[in-house]
Structure 1
């Protein structure tokens, strides 16, 4: 099933599987979300919950019990319920069930809401803790932006001046090795060599926004004020780039396996809610 939102400027299509944004078009019918060609990558804009990235040995410990959880968690593979919708808004929800409790021992509700405003779509994540104790989680976005021109026609403009040190991945885990991007006046020209060793992982950025430029002209802006970490990724020779706001990231090699000690993890107190939002704006 799909839900379509539309106003005079943009149209968004959300699949109920994963509550995933699978299309974002302007009023000229130009597509800004990656088509999901499995030859490169079969997703469009999956949600990452209740973890971001990979766990060491795909497992973690909680209350001295070991659990298995695959990379990026299970929410993207679950069918969401459409809770409420208007022409320009939609709220989707999943809840813990016997299957999730086998791999993630917390009672929760997880909502994703979409709101259109002019040429912008805002995407909000709400985590509701239904336990009488704290729950621990990460959440992140993985939107793939379609790049119809030659890949090297694009660049990324950071909102603020950055040292832009990023962490290198090794076996899907974050190593202690870093590199510094060569930014030219806050701008990063895109080329596939950047991604030969997988994603660029930024644990903390000064910038709260990033603009994709096409031939030096504004193309699409991502605002991620609520998200301290960011991943940037593509597949070599693929015509897209993922700009990924994160709260949390993959395990480091030094991780001790305990969920509550995981670097970047969020602790949500009993019966409390957590909300974070980011936006994509067509320019």
Structure 2
């Protein structure tokens, strides 16, 4: 099943499977979300929960017991319930179950809230700890922005002038190796060579937003002020780029395996709610 919301400027469509945004169109019917061609990458904008990235050996430990989780967790592959809808907004919910407790031994509710406001789609996350014990988790977004022209016609413009140091991945884990993205007036022209070693992983950024330029003109702005980390990724010759606001990232080789000790993890107190949001603005 799918749900569509709209206003006078935009229309957004969301799958109930994974509560995944798969279309964002303007009044001219121009599509801004990647089509999901499986020859390159068969998704559009998955939710990453309860981990972001890859665990060492796809395994973690809670109270001396081992559990397995696939890359980016399980929420993106589960059916969400539509719990509320208006013309321009929709709320989806995923509740812990016997199936999730086998992989992740915590009682939770995960809500995704989509709201259209003029030329902007706001996406909010609520993570509710329904138990009487602390709950460790990571959460992240993975929207793939469609780039219909030649990849080299696009560029990134970061909000602030800063040293853009990113970590390299090795075997899907965060390595100690880093590189610096060189910018000119905060602008980085896009080319596939940037992604020859997979995603660019920024553990901490001063910038709270990133604008994609098309032929030197603003195309889309992603605002992620609530999120400390950012991933950027594409596939060779694919016509998309993923701008991924994150809380957390892949394990390092030195990770102990204890989820409570994982770098970047959030520890949510019993019966509390974690909230964050980001937005995609058509500019």
Secondary structure of the 2:5 match is: strand
Matched, 1:209 2:209: yes
Q: Distance in 1 between matches of 2:89 and 2:11?
A: 11
Q: Report the counterpart of residue 143 of structure 2 in structure 1.
A: 143
Q: Report the counterpart of residue 256 of structure 1 in structure 2.
A: 256
Q: CA RMSD in A?
A: 0.4
* Shift, 1:155, TM fit: 0.3
* Shift, 1:254, TM fit: 1.2
Secondary structure of the 1:47 match is: coil
Secondary structure of the 2:76 match is: helix
Q: Report the counterpart of residue 35 of structure 1 in structure 2.
A: 35
Q: Could you give the per-residue CA deviations for residues 32-80 of structure 1, whole angstroms, max 9, x where no partner exists? A: 0000000000000000000000000000001110000000000000000
Matched, 1:61 2:67: no
Aligned length: 283
Matched, 1:165 2:165: yes
Q: Distance in 1 between matches of 2:103 and 2:79?
A: 17
Q: Report the counterpart of residue 107 of structure 1 in structure 2.
A: 107
Q: Report the counterpart of residue 178 of structure 1 in structure 2.
A: 178
Q: Report the counterpart of residue 119 of structure 1 in structure 2.
A: 119
Q: Report the counterpart of residue 236 of structure 2 in structure 1.
A: 236
Unaligned stretches of 5+ residues in structure 1: none
Q: Distance in 2 between matches of 1:203 and 1:16?
A: 31
* Shift, 1:249, TM fit: 0.4
Q: Report the counterpart of residue 70 of structure 1 in structure 2.
A: 70
Secondary structure of the 1:175 match is: strand
Q: Distance in 2 between matches of 1:124 and 1:57?
A: 31
Q: Could you give the per-residue CA deviations for residues 81-115 of structure 1, whole angstroms, max 9, x where no partner exists? A: 00000000000001000010001000000000000
Q: Distance in 1 between matches of 2:247 and 2:162?
A: 19
Secondary structure of the 2:67 match is: strand
Q: Distance in 1 between matches of 2:92 and 2:84?
A: 7
TM-score normalised to structure 2 length: 1.00
Q: Could you give the per-residue CA deviations for residues 224-248 of structure 1, whole angstroms, max 9, x where no partner exists? A: 0110000000001000000000000
Q: Report the counterpart of residue 191 of structure 2 in structure 1.
A: 191
* Shift, 1:201, TM fit: 0.1
Q: Distance in 1 between matches of 2:66 and 2:227?
A: 29
Q: Distance in 2 between matches of 1:102 and 1:271?
A: 21
* Shift, 1:6, TM fit: 0.6
* Shift, 1:154, TM fit: 0.2
TM-score normalised to structure 1 length: 1.00
Secondary structure of the 1:48 match is: coil
Q: Distance in 2 between matches of 1:125 and 1:51?
A: 14
Q: Could you give the per-residue CA deviations for residues 147-169 of structure 1, whole angstroms, max 9, x where no partner exists? A: 00100000000000120000000
Q: Could you give the per-residue CA deviations for residues 126-162 of structure 1, whole angstroms, max 9, x where no partner exists? A: 0000110100000000000000010000000000012
Unaligned stretches of 5+ residues in structure 2: none
Q: Distance in 1 between matches of 2:183 and 2:263?
A: 27
